[in-house]
C-alpha cells in the first residue's frame, strides 16, 4: 500500500512538473523566437528602397568650437 502511494505521489509530481513548467516554458520560447524573427524581417523590409542599408549620422564631434562671438567668462565677486 505504501509503495502504491509513493509511486502515485511521484507520478503526480512529475505530471505537475511537465504540464506546469516544461510545456509552458517550451511554448514561451517558441513564441519569443517567432516574434524575434518577425521583428527582424520587418526591420529588413523597412530598409532603404535602393537596397542599401540605412546609415545613421554618428559623426558627433563635441570638440568643435561653436560658430559666432566668444564671450569671456568673468567671475562675479
Residue with cell 567671475: 75
Instruction: Give the residue-averaged pLDDT of 4-9.
Output: 97
- How high is the mean pLDDT of the chain? 82
Q: What is the pTM of this model?
A: 0.51
Q: Return the H-helix or E-strand segment holding 3.
A: helix 2-17
Confidence category of residue 11, pLDDT binned at 50, 70, 90 = very high
In tens, the pLDDT along 23-48 reads: 999 999 999 999 999 999 999 988 75
Amino acid at each position: 500500500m505504501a509503495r502504491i502511494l509513493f509511486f502515485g505521489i511521484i507520478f503526480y509530481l512529475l505530471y505537475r512538473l511537465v504540464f506546469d513548467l516544461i510545456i509552458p516554458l517550451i511554448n514561451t520560447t517558441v513564441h519569443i523566437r517567432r516574434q524575434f524573427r518577425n521583428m527582424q524581417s520587418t526591420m529588413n523590409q523597412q530598409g532603404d528602397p535602393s537596397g542599401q542599408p540605412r546609415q545613421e549620422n554618428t559623426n558627433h564631434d563635441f570638440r568643435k568650437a561653436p560658430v559666432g562671438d566668444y564671450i569671456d567668462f568673468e567671475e562675479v565677486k
